[in-house]
C-alpha cells in the first residue's frame, strides 16, 4: 500500500469507528435517534439507575456519601451472612421504572425487529436465598412491563471469562449478566458466541447506561471489533427524595437481628410505634 492510500485508509477507519458518548436526562431525548435503528442495530439498556430505581433511599446512589459507612459496618458485622442478608434486600425492596414510557419504547423497537437486550453488571447464578439471579431479574422486569426477546430460550454461560463465586457471566432471556466482570469483556464474549451460532454481527451498537466507566468499557471493546458505537450517559430524572439516617440505620439493625428487610415505610411505622430493632 502506498503512503497516500495508507493515509486515506486511516482517515476512513477513524470516521467508521468513531464512537460517541452523549448525555441524556430523559429517554424522550433519545426517541429521534432510536427511530433510525434497524435490525442490524443492537440496542442495550443497563438496568439499575437506567431503567429502574430501588424505592428504599439507602439504595439510592446519590446518597452514597451518607450511607456508605453505615453499610460497610453492617456488612462487616454480618460476616458470612452478608450474601444472605443482601439477597433479602434484593427480594424485598420495591423496584420502580424511572420513566415508565421506556417500556413502550422497548416494545416499539422489538416490533421493528431491532435487537434489544439488557446489559447488567449484577451477580449471576445463585446468591443468598435467590436460586438464579438472572431469573429474578427477568421476573422483576417482566412485572414492570419489560421483557427482552432472546436469541435463544437456553441460558448461555461464557466460560471464556473467569468464574466469580463459582459462576460465569450469562445470557438469559435477553439479559446479559456480567457477574461483576467489565461490560465490554462480556459483551465481546456474547458477540463471539452469537456470531458462531447465528452468524449475527451488528453493524451498530447503542448503550444506555448511568455509569460512564461501563460506557467506556463497551466503547473500547467495540472499537477493537470495528463496530460503530453510540453511548448515552443517562442522568435521570431520578425522584426527589431525602435520606433519613435514622430509618436507614434501623433497617440495617433490623436486618441483622431478624434477617428481614423493612421498606422505608415499614421502618418508619416501627419507629413511630416505638418497636425496637433488636430482640
Ligand atoms: Mg446502572
Looking at the domain assignment, is residue 72 inside a domain? no
If you measure from the C-alpha of residue 6 to the centroid of ligand 1, how many angstroms do you get, rounded to a whole number?
Answer: 41
> Is residue 48 classed as helix, strand or coil in its secondary structure?
strand
If you measure from the C-alpha of residue 12 to the centroid of ligand 1, how many angstroms do you get, rounded to a whole number?
Answer: 34
If you measure from the C-alpha of residue 20 to the centroid of ligand 1, how many angstroms do you get, rounded to a whole number?
Answer: 19
Mean pLDDT of the 239-246 span: 94
Mean pLDDT of the 70-75 span: 97
Q: Domain range for residue 178?
A: 22-55+94-243
pLDDT of residue 279: 57
Answer yes or no: is pLDDT of 156 > 60: yes
Q: Give whole-number Cα distances, 128 to 38, 48, 272, in Å.
A: 40, 20, 31
Answer yes or no: is pLDDT of 277 > 80: no
Number of domains composing the chain: 1
What does the alpha-carbon distance between residue 169 and residue 249 come to, in Å, rounded to a whole number?
A: 33
If you measure from the C-alpha of residue 140 to the centroid of ligand 1, how many angstroms do you get, rounded to a whole number?
Answer: 16
If you measure from the C-alpha of residue 69 to the centroid of ligand 1, how many angstroms do you get, rounded to a whole number?
Answer: 21
What does the alpha-carbon distance between residue 206 and residue 119 come to, in Å, rounded to a whole number?
A: 11
Mean pLDDT of the 34-58 span: 97
pLDDT of residue 16: 45
The grid cell for 168 is 460465569
pTM comes to: 0.91
Answer yes or no: is pLDDT of 96 > 60: yes
Share of the chain above pLDDT 70, in %: 92
Answer yes or no: is pLDDT of 216 > 70: yes
What does the alpha-carbon distance between residue 171 and residue 75 come to, in Å, rounded to a whole number?
A: 29
Looking at the domain assignment, is residue 218 inside a domain? yes
Looking at the domain assignment, is residue 46 inside a domain? yes
Looking at the domain assignment, is residue 233 inside a domain? yes
Q: Which of 11-25, 187-201, 210-224 has the lowest mean pLDDT?
A: 11-25
Looking at the domain assignment, is residue 277 inside a domain? no
Looking at the domain assignment, is residue 270 inside a domain? no
What does the alpha-carbon distance between residue 63 and residue 233 come to, in Å, rounded to a whole number?
A: 19
If you measure from the C-alpha of residue 279 to the centroid of ligand 1, how many angstroms do you get, rounded to a whole number?
Answer: 36
If you measure from the C-alpha of residue 49 to the centroid of ligand 1, how many angstroms do you get, rounded to a whole number?
Answer: 5
Looking at the domain assignment, is residue 268 inside a domain? no
If you measure from the C-alpha of residue 40 to the centroid of ligand 1, how many angstroms do you get, rounded to a whole number?
Answer: 25
If you measure from the C-alpha of residue 9 to the centroid of ligand 1, how many angstroms do you get, rounded to a whole number?
Answer: 37
If you measure from the C-alpha of residue 14 to the centroid of ligand 1, how many angstroms do you get, rounded to a whole number?
Answer: 29
If you measure from the C-alpha of residue 192 to the centroid of ligand 1, how many angstroms do you get, rounded to a whole number?
Answer: 24
182: CATH: 3.40.50.1000
If you measure from the C-alpha of residue 218 to the centroid of ligand 1, how many angstroms do you get, rounded to a whole number?
Answer: 14
Share of the chain above pLDDT 90, in %: 84
Mean pLDDT of the 160-177 span: 93
Mean pLDDT of the 151-160 span: 85
Amino acid at each position: 500500500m502506498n503512503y497516500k492510500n495508507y493515509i486515506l485508509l486511516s482517515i476512513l477507519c477513524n470516521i467508521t469507528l468513531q464512537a460517541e458518548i452523549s448525555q441524556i436526562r430523559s429517554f424522550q431525548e433519545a426517541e429521534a435517534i432510536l427511530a433510525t435503528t434497524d435490525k442490524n442495530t443492537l440496542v442495550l439498556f443497563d438496568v439499575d439507575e437506567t431503567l429502574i430505581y430501588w424505592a428504599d433511599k439507602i439504595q439510592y446512589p446519590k446518597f452514597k456519601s451518607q450511607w456508605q459507612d453505615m453499610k460497610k459496618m453492617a456488612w462487616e458485622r454480618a460476616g458470612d451472612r452478608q450474601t444472605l442478608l443482601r439477597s433479602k434486600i434484593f427480594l424485598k425492596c420495591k423496584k420502580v421504572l424511572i420513566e415508565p414510557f421506556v417500556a413502550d419504547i422497548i416494545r416499539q423497537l422489538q416490533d421493528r425487529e431491532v435487537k434489544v437486550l439488557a446489559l447488567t453488571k449484577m451477580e449471576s447464578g445463585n446468591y443468598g436465598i435467590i436460586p438464579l439471579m438472572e431469573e429474578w431479574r427477568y421476573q422483576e422486569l417482566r412485572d414492570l412491563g419489560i421483557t427482552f426477546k432472546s436469541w435463544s430460550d437456553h441460558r448461555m454461560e461464557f466460560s471464556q471469562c473467569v468464574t466469580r463465586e463459582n459462576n460465569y457471566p450469562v445470557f438469559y432471556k435477553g439479559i446479559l449478566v456480567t457477574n461483576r466482570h467489565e461490560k465490554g469483556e462480556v459483551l465481546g464474549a456474547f458477540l463471539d458466541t452469537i456470531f458462531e451460532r447465528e452468524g449475527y454481527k451488528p453493524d451498530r451498537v447503542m448503550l444506555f447506561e448511568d455509569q460512564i466507566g461501563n460506557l467506556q468499557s463497551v466503547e473500547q471493546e467495540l472499537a477493537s471489533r470495528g463496530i460503530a458505537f453510540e453511548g448515552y450517559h443517562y442522568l435521570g430524572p431520578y425522584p426527589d427524595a431525602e435520606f433519613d439516617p435514622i430509618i436507614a440505620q434501623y433497617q440495617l439493625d433490623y436486618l441483622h437481628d431478624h434477617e428481614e428487610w423493612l421498606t422505608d415505610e415499614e421502618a418508619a411505622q416501627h419507629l413511630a410505634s416505638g418497636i425496637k430493632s433488636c430482640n
